[in-house]
Structure 1
Amino acid sequence: MLTNTFAGALMLASIVFTGAAFAESDSRESSHQIQQIRNATIKVTYGETTFLIDPMLADQGAYPGFPDTYRSELRNPLVGLPMAAEVVIEGTDAVILTHTHLDHWDDAARKLLPKNIPLFVQNAADAGMVRSQGFTDVRILDDETEFGGVALHKTGGQHGSDTLYAIPELAEALGEIMGVVFEAEGQKTTYVVGDTVWRDEVVQTLERFQPNVVVLNTGAAELIGFEGDPIIMGKEDTRRMHRALPDAAIVAVHMDAVNHMTLSREELAEFVENEGIAHQVLIPADGEILSF
Structure 2
Amino acid sequence: MKIRPILLALGLSTGLFQTAYAFDYQHIRNATAKITYGGTTFLVDPYLAPKGTYTGFEGTVNSEKRNPLIDMKQSAKEIIKDIDAVIVTHTHDDHWDKAAQEMLPKNIPVFVQNAGDAKIIRGQGFTDVRVVGKNTDFNGVKLSKTGGQHGTDAMYAVPQLAELAGDAMGVVFRHNKEKTLYIAGDTLWTYHVDHALQNYRPDVIVLNTGEAKLQGFEGAIIMGRQDVLTAAQKAPNAQIVTVHMDAVNHATVSRRDLRAFVKANRLGKRVSVPKEGEVLKY
TM-score, with normalisation over the residues of structure 1?
0.89
In structure 2, the partner of 1:15 is none
Residue 229 of structure 2 is aligned to residue 239 of structure 1: yes
Distance 1:53 1:202 in 2: 19
Tell me which of 173, 183, 187 is aligned to 2:174: 183
Matches within 5 A, 1:64-79: 64-79=55-70
In structure 2, the partner of 1:134 is 125
In structure 1, the partner of 2:265 is 275
> Which secondary structure does the structure 1 equivalent of 2:120 belong to?
helix
Indicate if the aligned counterparts of 1:31 and 1:48 stay in contact, CA closer than 8 A. Answer: no
Distance 1:72 1:211 in 2: 35
Distance 1:207 1:142 in 2: 18
Residue 247 of structure 2 is aligned to residue 224 of structure 1: no
In structure 2, the partner of 1:159 is 150
Question: 4+ runs of 1 displaced by more than 2 Å?
Answer: none
Mind listing any 5+ residue stretches in structure 2 that lack a counterpart?
1-20
User: Residue type matched to 1:77 in 2?
Assistant: P
Distance 2:38 2:195 in 1: 27
> Which secondary structure does the structure 2 equivalent of 1:52 belong to?
strand
User: Residue type matched to 2:278 in 1?
Assistant: E
In structure 2, the partner of 1:106 is 97
Tell me which of 178, 184, 187 is aligned to 1:196: 187
Deviation at 1:144, TM superposition (A): 2.2
In structure 2, the partner of 1:94 is 85
Matches within 5 A, 1:244-255: 244-255=234-245
Q: Residues 216-275 of structure 1: CA distance to partner in whole angstroms, max 9, x if unpaired?
A: 000000001114x01000000010000001121100000000000000000000011101
- Aligned residues: percent identity? 53
Mind listing any 5+ residue stretches in structure 1 that lack a counterpart?
1-29
Deviation at 1:44, TM superposition (A): 1.4
Q: Residues 159-215 of structure 1: CA distance to partner in whole angstroms, max 9, x if unpaired?
A: 011111111111011001100000001211000000000000110010001100001
Indicate if the aligned counterparts of 1:37 and 1:288 stay in contact, CA closer than 8 A. Answer: yes
User: Residue type matched to 2:48 in 1?
Assistant: L
Please tell me the root mean square deviation across aligned C-alpha atoms, in Å.
1.1
Indicate if the aligned counterparts of 1:179 and 1:192 stay in contact, CA closer than 8 A. Answer: yes
Indicate if the aligned counterparts of 1:82 and 1:286 stay in contact, CA closer than 8 A. Answer: yes
Indicate if the aligned counterparts of 2:38 and 2:177 stay in contact, CA closer than 8 A. Answer: no
Distance 1:242 1:258 in 2: 26
In structure 1, the partner of 2:4 is none
Moved more, 116-125 or 160-169: 160-169
Tell me which of 1, 18, 28 is aligned to 1:37: 28
Q: Number of aligned residue pairs: give it.
A: 263
Larger Rg: 2
Tell me which of 156, 159, 162 is aligned to 1:171: 162
Indicate if the aligned counterparts of 2:242 and 2:271 stay in contact, CA closer than 8 A. Answer: yes
User: Residue type matched to 2:120 in 1?
Assistant: M
